[in-house]
Amino acid sequence: MADPVLVEIVEGTLASVEKEVETAIARTARSPMIRDAHDFRAGIHDARLRKLTGRSYSALVQPIVRDFPIDTMKPGDVYFHNDVYLSEGGIGHLPDLCVTVPVFHDGSVVAFVQAFGHHDDIGGSVPGSMPSHARSVFEEGLMVPPTKLWDAGVPNEAVLRIMTRNSRMPDSLAGDLDAECSACLMGARRLGELFDRYGKAEVEECFDAIIGKTTETFRRELLAKIPEGTYVWEDYAEHDGVDEPRLHAQRITLTVDHAADAPLKIDFTGTSPQAKGPINHAGDYADGVFLKKWLAPVLRNLADTPERMAELDVNEGVVPLIEMVFPEKGTLLTPIFPAPTNARTFVILRLLGVLAGVLAKATGGRMPADQETIRYTGVHGADADGVPYLMREVLGGGSGGRWYADGEDTIHVVPDSRNIPVEFAEARWPFRVERLALACDSGGPGMFRGGLGYDKHIRMLRDASYMSIADRSILSCWGVNGGLAGRPFRVEIAGKEMEGLVDDHQVQAGETIRIRTTGGGGWGSPYDRDPRAVAADVRDGKVSIAGALGDYGVVLDGDRIDEQGTAELRANLRPPAGRFFDRGPGYAKLSGGRSYAEVDEL
């Protein structure tokens, strides 16, 4: 049995090494997406390919050891891949490049350090390697199956030259890869020192204890709160970039059996056929191990308190608790090569919400409302010197209201990620940011309001092309337990409303791009919200006076609440019986006029 004191030391060391690797990458990378937006992750895995750290999700080591047996690896080796269909489900689209470094002790591999992140450009038909109208993965950029990028400390210059030759931004790509390789090699040395200090058997016992603790904690504290039974829910992506907008369903049938080895069975049967456009996600590999770790953080919402929720790590310990059942090949989650995948965020982000929704049905609403916190917007063109540039930003949105609190404003599902600082953007690219604020009234009304999205205005100083990979431009983030949906994503250029998927809309110098990102859904009836909280939101510019009146039934006279008028208005406005889920007005547009889905019934 592992020494509990040593377990704490090893667990702290793993977290420290992971953070040190990420800090080194952020300080030495060159591209804005990696260095400034921080759209990358590090992870540490043991020799059994189990993820040990729980601060963030990461890719997988399985494809590396599949193609390069562990006993052939040498100190100083660095492996690379970005091929979606050869990544065992760990890579979702080609701009996510993954670097893996083995850790050695006494001549044997004892662990792995890995980093993967979203890079500026890896080739393909459009700048940024995310063609919104792609019909094939071959349009999306250079595919690299698992390969040895460094051999015993010597970089493979031929491979590096091929990769940079295919990129529109070769210097940024080369700099980012160098930063990631060097940081992972540094992390491997740090972990090697841990094994040298305490010994292989002792450290591996600690690894087992760390993972086992997560398994037991999730089983005892979280899963025990879900009543046994079978629950079904689904949600939708709205547009695949090729066909006209329609409902692309992602369905989960959740079966809970506390006596089973895997208490949760997640069955994706009923998910729509694979799309012609790039919203597919190849998730049905390695028994869905990536998706298990991707979805498991939703379960933390069942913790007794928010403080306890924040303490719970998601490492390989969640994997034995979940059984996944995938439909046959040819669906959004089981696409057949070479189906395009660059906008797969529409599916994997929606799955987080589908699991939250099905758990809300199972637990009487003890889940947050919906959020949509990733979309890519940007411009590309040439600067005053004729040098091509690409500005692409991953703007967040509001998170869903919760049973105990409002949603958070302008968050991003990727930990530590952020928008690009205005001062940096204006110094580097030919535009001005004239507004960066919270989008008033964007959060879904509720007893606990949804978080607000961004309101960002960009005035172009030179002609350029606008691009966008965004969902929830028709459908809204749903509200739950009487809460209402938030407002959808919206972009206007010179007064013209854009679709969510755009490759190269021409923007003239002097024109303004107005971006409003999604607001989270509301939780609970907005007529149960404390009028003082509504008045405070009005003072803070989060809710308009019209919104206070129409959405919350709160009558304001300047800063004063008209309590009698509010009581009378709410008595007249309160619906006799509200739907458990509110999908917003966009759902009716795509569903033939229906206001709710059959699975919305409790």
Residue with tokens 């991003």: 412
Phi, psi of 83 (to 5 degrees): -70, 115
Is it the case that residue 57 has pLDDT exceeding 80? no
pLDDT band at 572 (very low <50, low <70, confident <90, very high): confident
The pLDDT, as a whole number, for residue 576 is 58
Is it the case that residue 415 has pLDDT exceeding 80? no
Give the separation between CA 282 and CA 91, rounded to whole angstroms: 8
The pLDDT, as a whole number, for residue 455 is 98
pLDDT band at 365 (very low <50, low <70, confident <90, very high): very high
The pLDDT, as a whole number, for residue 275 is 98
Angle between helices 170-198 and 4-28 (to 10 degrees): 160
Pull the structure tokens for residue 312: 């719970």
Please state the rounded mean pLDDT for residues 105-123.
Answer: 96
Beta strands in 338-417 (DSSP E): 375-382, 388-395
Is it the case that residue 16 has pLDDT exceeding 80? yes
- How does pLDDT run across 66-88, given as a tens digit for each residue? 999 999 999 999 999 999 999 99
- How does pLDDT run across 506-556, given as a tens digit for each residue? 999 999 999 999 999 999 999 999 999 999 999 999 999 999 999 999 999
Give the separation between CA 298 and CA 355, rounded to whole angstroms: 7
Please state the rounded mean pLDDT for residues 99-108.
Answer: 98
Pull the structure tokens for residue 221: 């504290």
Beta strands in 425-500 (DSSP E): 431-438, 454-460, 464-469, 479-480, 490-493, 496-497
CB contact at 8 A, 444 and 417:
no
pLDDT band at 578 (very low <50, low <70, confident <90, very high): low
Helix ranges (H only) for 429-553 are 531-539, 545-552
The pLDDT, as a whole number, for residue 577 is 61
- How does pLDDT run across 122-174, given as a tens digit for each residue? 999 999 999 999 999 999 999 999 999 999 999 999 999 999 999 999 999 99
Give the separation between CA 344 and CA 333, rounded to whole angstroms: 9
pTM of the model: 0.96
Q: What are 165-168's contacts with CB under 8 Å, separation 24+?
A: 166/122, 166/123, 166/141, 166/142, 167/120, 167/121, 167/122, 167/123, 167/142, 168/120, 168/121, 168/123, 168/127, 168/388, 168/390
Pull the structure tokens for residue 343: 């906008």
Is it the case that residue 456 has pLDDT exceeding 80? yes
Is it the case that residue 58 has pLDDT exceeding 90? no
Please state the rounded mean pLDDT for residues 465-473.
Answer: 96
Q: What is the CA radius of gyration of the chain?
A: 24
- How does pLDDT run across 303-361, given as a tens digit for each residue? 999 999 999 999 999 999 999 999 999 999 999 999 999 999 999 999 999 999 999 99
Mean pLDDT value across the chain: 96
Classified as helix, coil or strand, 408 is coil
* Element of type H or E holding 5: helix 4-28
The pLDDT, as a whole number, for residue 234 is 98
pLDDT band at 412 (very low <50, low <70, confident <90, very high): confident
